[in-house]
Structure 1
């Protein structure tokens, strides 16, 4: 009985010892793996670049840009394998995205090059450890989850950055398409060109109210000569914009209504008593100056004084 207990204890100790050795060996595999990838950095990076060219990726980059970016990506990739720091990887991925998005690099290209690098490095590890399948399996068990996490993090970071850039560009386009322009002290003009949908109408109102506050405007001329049509929702939004502007102390004059838009406003029953409308922009500016207390004097013909 004692012998069996001793045997059991001995067997248990042997198992624990073997497990500890395996853990120590596994812990030592990662530094070996990283050292191998750094030692063969030039060859592996060149092989990777060859695969990138073969897949027709990053064609928007010059040869020098390709060398710089692939070297940077390779070094950061290996560093993340070593440290496991996802935060550092996310920071690097954002920086990379900021550099390459303006060059026309697409999302599928970024995902593609990272997956190609993962495969090139995996093949290199297979060649190194193929003589010992047990060690190879442990190396791949350590490498594959980390490599997949890197690929996923880079892809998500790139998509997030690309969406941020697109939103920024859209905001810039909207600001350019609906500029709030100071004409003279306390007088603003807002020329609107193109389709006026709900989202643009909302953005227009925000810009207009901000402009009224910034320039301490008393009169605003909104010219919609370049707007082809408005629906009921947008028309009601214009009325709300007029009301909001009045609350901030500014009168709104709307100019340039087309016959079609005028008929639409009447048909859908917009409260026209809340809207001060003038036929054209020149007339609207003259009315605005009158409201501000300026005297509008018309000159004679070309031959007059």
Structure 2
């Protein structure tokens, strides 16, 4: 990418590759990379400043203060040089994950992270052009040694950031699902699970897990599941609801379904759901009254048994 044309004619025929050539090139890289590392260490201060200025000019990492940017620039630069020196990206990968955890909540996007790494590659390449400007042949050999390592570093940082960002997004989605399906204790032994929004298969599974945990935690005897805010239910979700009712019964809790719309009721009948397994009541208020009636009957039966 950075190869310099020294002005000589090229017959257009690629030079033959050989194992000996590869070994010689690898050996040369082993000589040139330490020289490159020494150059980057010697000019650490000026190159960091130049990189930080390029980041500011490009308006990247604008969610961070100038001091925060320079602090991270210093750490990334040192990790960058360490990769060139050791050939190992493990430490850089760990740092990239830690950096991602700090800056993703600040609103930093993937293109900004990739952008700053590419800017660093450009700043360092320009410094090499300046250092070896009187020897194009040596400059090309240095760039041949530098470019593969620089590309590997850029790829490592970008992949680490994307992986961390995807993890954060999954955590946020899980938190949103939990907030959108809270298990509420209305009174002793009585829980309400109001469901609002689209009830897809993953959410239905999560709902069942939350419901069973709530029954165990609160030692609930009756649960009211209100689906007034659910626009539609498909066969898979209906199956999850039936399983949630059955599992709740196994844990000693009766389940009352409220807010069943005519459309959802027709869907359940069409797909063959056995509605006799479900205790359904028109609205939430009616469901709570039915739940209190069941709790009262259970209390009366318990008193009679003791007598």
1:244 Cα deviation (Å)? 2.1
Corresponding residue for residue 273 of structure 1: 276
Out of 165, 189, 193, the residue aligned to residue 190 of structure 1 is: 193
* Rg larger in structure: 1
State the partner residue of 2:124.
121
1:159-178 C-alpha deviation (Å, 9 max, x unpaired):
00000000000000000000
- Structure 2 vs 1, CA of residues 129 and 187 (structure 1 numbering), >3 Å: closer, same or farther? same
Number of residue pairs aligned between Structure 1 and Structure 2: 277
Task: Give the structure-1-normalised TM-score.
Answer: 0.82
CA RMSD of aligned residues (A): 2.6
Within 5 Å, give how 1:13-24 maps onto structure 2. 23=27
Q: Does residue 159 in structure 1 map to residue 162 in structure 2?
A: yes
Contact 1:178 1:204 in 2 (8 A): yes
Choose which of 67, 72, 87 in structure 2 pairs with 1:69.
Answer: 72
Moved more, 88-97 or 29-38: 29-38
1:78 aligns with 2:81: yes
Cα deviation for residue 290 of structure 1 reads 2.9
Separation in 2, partners of 1:187, 1:108? 50
Residue deviations 1:225-264, cap 9 Å, x none? 2222323332232122212222232211111223333343
Q: Is the 8 A contact 1:289 1:295 kept in 2?
A: no
Aligned to 1:58: 61
Unaligned runs of 5+ in 2: 1-22, 300-307
- 1:216 & 1:271 partners in 2: Cα distance? 27
Q: For residues 173-193 of structure 1, what are the alpha-carbon distances to aligned partners after superposition, in whole Å with 9 as ceiling and x for unaligned? A: 000000112233332211111
TM-superposed deviation, 1:114: 0.5
Q: Distance in 1 between matches of 2:35 and 2:214?
A: 62
Q: Is the 8 A contact 1:217 1:250 kept in 2?
A: yes
